[in-house]
Amino acid sequence: MEQKPFGQTNLTVTPIGLGLAALGRPGYINLGHGKDLDHEYDVAAMEAHSHTVLDAAWETGIRYFDAARSYGRAEAFLSSWLKNRQIDPASITIGSKWGYTYTADWQVNLPQGQKHEVKEHTVPVLQRQWQESQALLGNQLNIYQIHSATLDSGVLENEAVLAELARLRDAGTIIGLSLSGTDQAETLWRALEIEFDGQLLFGSVQATWNILEQSATAVLTAVHNAGVGVIIKEALANGRLTPRNQSPDFEPKLHALTQLAERHQTTVDALALAAVLNQPFVDVVLSGAAQPDHLISNLAALNVKWRPDLANSLLGMREETAEYWQIRSNLSWN
């Protein structure tokens, strides 16, 4: 898989990367997550499983890997894999995130009112989590992202946090932000205004974009044109854009996707990923696969022949932004 420049940074990425949200913790909202892990939640077993998927990613040419402090032990599993396989740091690009703290204590089903992760965008959390990420990944960590920056969190108005991020940027780390929710576009427009020493603070953005949720198209095009590297997450809408989605409301779209996949001799997930890969503002799309065979299926997106009629069919499936995020918020941790 060919590597290409990541925005105006000195980094390179592959068109498809591997996100570790589903590999580092026993509970997640992806449809069928528990089944992907064979409901085997022992730490050693999950580490071995994550290494198996990471091996498959490496063998297929993936060279961008994405983690977060709140993904349970994702950074630790990635770190042990890098050491065990003696991966050359110069051959890969790694991103991680700060701002959420993992609080599930390795449990899937939590008592009512308890959260799997807690968000806090403050200087003490940034400094603590930066040290934690450094302890595991050190100079192999290339991109450090605000996890789920939103306008209401106030992080983009917090001068102390922004100054600390600028300090990390000046020391050689690419600073990014990930986005979530109905105000993705507004948040990113605001981030584009933030400069330190005459340069944009953010050299990277990670946003949700898929055939159901296309609301950030204009701003992602703008940041890409401004030289910011663009990472796309949730390209399969947490499994909703796969046959695992058995919602009666989605059945007409799944039927149409299945017919399109058969016509183009590929899979539903590959079609959905191809729609993202073929957007001109995209640098890397994350596969969130938690099984090697799912990863291989995702990679078939690279072979889909993109044509105007296919684009019209797929991009015509978009949902209202508020509806999309409401459905996502109702997905169960499993």
Give residue-wise pLDDT tens across range 223-246.
Answer: 999 999 999 999 999 999 999 999
Residue ranges of domains in the chain, CATH in brackets? 13-329 (3.20.20.100)
Looking from the CA of 213 toward its CB, the CA atoms found within 13 Å total 28
**Cα–Cα distance for residue pair 32/186, rounded to 1 Å:** 32
Nearest of 95, 194, 77, 70 to residue 145 by alpha carbon: 95
pLDDT attached to residue 113: 83
In the numeric block, which tokens belong to residue 173?
Answer: 């780390």
pLDDT for res 22: 97
Q: Which residues of the chain have pLDDT under 70?
A: none
Q: Count of residues for the chain?
A: 334
Give the tens place of pLDDT for each residue, 166-198: 999 999 999 999 999 999 999 999 999 999 999
Nearest to 276 by CA among 327, 325, 206: 206
Look at residue 266 in the predicted model and tell me its pLDDT: 97
